[in-house]
């Protein structure tokens, strides 16, 4: 499977994990939540770059 199809799915998984963690912590942004969000942002940015560069 191509990375440009896999990375958006992984970004969504990490975003869901971050939102789940934030809701578990009483909607406070702790270190673990920020880490999940940062990973989701990185995967999202790389997947957007791959989609854009393959056009």
pTM, full prediction: 0.85
Give the C-alpha distances (Å, rounded to integers) separating 38 from 1, 2, 6, 19, 33.
Answer: 24, 23, 18, 12, 9
Q: What is the pLDDT along the chain (55 residues), one digit of tens a residue?
A: 688 889 999 999 999 999 999 999 999 999 999 999 999 999 999 999 998 998 7
- Best CA proximity match to 49, nearest among 9, 17, 1, 8: 8
State residue 1's pLDDT score.
67
**Cα separation, 14 vs 10, whole angstroms:** 6
What single-letter DSSP state applies at residue 15? H
**Which token pair is 33?**
């939540």
């Amino acid at each position: 499977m191509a990375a440009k199809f896999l990375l958006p799915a992984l970004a969504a998984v990490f975003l869901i994990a971050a939102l789940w963690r934030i809701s578990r912590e009483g909607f406070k942004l702790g270190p673990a939540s920020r880490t999940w969000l940062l990973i989701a942002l990185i995967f999202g940015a790389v997947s957007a770059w791959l989609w854009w560069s393959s056009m």
